[in-house]
Amino acid sequence: MKAPYWILGYEVSGKLVGRKTRDKFRVSDVAFYTISESADLDVLEKLKDAARGKKLSLMEPAEVIPYIAAELNTSLSLTTLLKRIQHSICSLLSAEAASILVHSEDHLEFLVTEGGASGRIESIPVPMESIAGTIFLKEKTMIFNDLSKDKRHFKGVDKAAKFVTKNIVGSPIWTGENKFGVIEVLNKERGFGKEDAETLEKFARLIGRKLYSTIANERMKKLMKEIVLAVTSVIDKRDRYTQEHSRNVARISVMLGRKLGLSDKDLEDLEVSAIFHDIGKIGIPDSVLLKPGRLTPDEYNLIKNHTVFGAEILSKLKHVTENIISGALEHHERLDGSGYPNGKKDGDISLFGRIIAVADVYDALTAKRVYKEEWSKEKVLEILRGDAEKGKFDMKIVEKLEELVKEGAL
Ligand SMILES: [Fe+2]
């Protein structure tokens, strides 16, 4: 019987067939070693007897790579992609860690995932005279099993990451004919061999294109976000808000959304929606928006229109979803029907509208303004809770906000 590609080894009564990896799953007396952090236990249950009789045939690491590459070739965020790449290559080569560096001008830079050494190593430029630089310039997969005597080993990174690199196998990463980075796999117990180098080289070839397009995509998204924030900060400033209002509302909304269990895609959309929530103020004349005294009913109606203007502006953009538009349109709606522009109630108000409403009020009241001092978080939470009890805000969302303040995240 053939084992699925993600099983690299198994152990029956202490006898190992294939190889051990970091991810072990036990089904009665059989332990399976896999390249994924989660395993399909039903499948393992079915393979158990074949494993007991040692009739389970495994693939060689090099044969497994195309399957992994195919699985990585779906739509993933850069962070998830990097994590999966690192995890699978470490399992395949039985190594401790893996890092990916990209070429930038005259040096290499780390691409890092969250956690681990993130925040400590990505700002360190890795010189071209280093091991990674040598691999990149020579365009070859190379093994370095004795780093103690190798002057090319760049110790700056180990120090910052609080990590001791003992040995390395590394390979350039290509997109078509252009090399753009290096993948390094670190620390194998008895050092890396020729087979490891071949496996890594094949792996690097197969993930290159996907990695490159994901990096480019992420950079473009970051750039777009910066442009949008620059535009909204001008609107915030005009409205006597702090310059950071839209950015803050976006940050708080995403934290609330995460607590509510929204998917990565929804969180991305929620962030865009929150950044843009007041974009419609662009259509309100200064004489009304900045009027110091009381507004006439007509003027107030005009202000209310910023929600509708915002939704109109956003609906003209190609990749903007209904969810994103709903946040701009409905962030002043209240659950009891007392809000605007449509006096919608309860479940008729979108989740994005309900989340941004809470984040908007929280930031507006805790911020210092020209006309008022900042209010304490406790006081603002009290007001929000009171309003939620009166049926204006979604209590579940206000509770999540309270949790965030309690945890010190806000
Ligand atoms: Fe607004």
39 and 68 assigned to the same domain: no
253 and 385 assigned to the same domain: yes
277 and 394 assigned to the same domain: yes
CATH of the domain at 313: 1.10.3210.10
Write out pLDDT tens, residues 289-320.
888 888 899 999 999 999 999 999 999 988 88
Domain assignment of residue 339, yes or no: yes
CA 305 to centroid of ligand 1, rounded, Å: 9
104 and 186 assigned to the same domain: yes
CA 336 to centroid of ligand 1, rounded, Å: 18
Q: What angle do CA 162, 166, 169 make, to 5 degrees?
A: 110
Residue with tokens 């993948």: 183
Residue with tokens 């409905």: 330
93 and 45 assigned to the same domain: no
Identify residue 173 by its one-letter amino acid code. I
Work out the mean pLDDT of the chain and round it to a whole number: 91
Q: What are the residues facing 127 on neighbouring strands? A: 107
Mapping DSSP to helix (H, G, I), strand (E, B) and coil, where does residue 66 land? Answer: helix
The residue segments making up the domain with residue 17 are: 7-59
Domain assignment of residue 205, yes or no: yes
CB 101 within 8 A of CB 66: no
Phi, psi torsion values for 313, nearest 5 degrees: -60, -50
281 and 394 assigned to the same domain: yes
CA 36 to centroid of ligand 1, rounded, Å: 45
CA 384 to centroid of ligand 1, rounded, Å: 17
Measure the CA–CA gap between 316 and 230, rounded to whole angstroms: 20
CA 329 to centroid of ligand 1, rounded, Å: 9
- Identify which of 108, 104, 114 has the alpha carbon closest to the alpha carbon of residue 77: 114
- The most distant pair of C-alpha atoms in the chain lies apart, rounded to whole Å, by 86
CA 320 to centroid of ligand 1, rounded, Å: 19
Domain assignment of residue 223, yes or no: no
Write out pLDDT tens, residues 170-223.
999 999 899 999 999 999 999 999 999 999 999 999 999 999 999 999 888 888
Domain assignment of residue 232, yes or no: no
Q: How many Cα atoms are found within 13 Å in the side-chain-facing hemisphere of 11?
A: 14
42 and 137 assigned to the same domain: no
CA 256 to centroid of ligand 1, rounded, Å: 18
- Identify which of 81, 82, 42, 35 has the alpha carbon closest to the alpha carbon of residue 59: 35
134 and 281 assigned to the same domain: no
141 and 261 assigned to the same domain: no
**What's the pLDDT score for residue 292?**
82
Domains identified in the chain, total number: 3
Measure the CA–CA gap between 358 and 356, rounded to whole angstroms: 5
Measure the CA–CA gap between 143 and 192, rounded to whole angstroms: 7
CB 52 within 8 A of CB 42: no
Domain assignment of residue 230, yes or no: no
86 and 42 assigned to the same domain: no
CA 323 to centroid of ligand 1, rounded, Å: 16
CA 360 to centroid of ligand 1, rounded, Å: 8
**What's the pLDDT score for residue 162?**
84
CATH of the domain at 140: 3.30.450.40
254 and 389 assigned to the same domain: yes
CA 304 to centroid of ligand 1, rounded, Å: 8
Domain assignment of residue 2, yes or no: no
Residues of the chain with pLDDT under 70: 113-120, 240-243, 370-371
CA 328 to centroid of ligand 1, rounded, Å: 8
**What's the pLDDT score for residue 264?**
85
CA 280 to centroid of ligand 1, rounded, Å: 8
CA 235 to centroid of ligand 1, rounded, Å: 11
Domain assignment of residue 233, yes or no: no
Domain assignment of residue 234, yes or no: no
177 and 282 assigned to the same domain: no
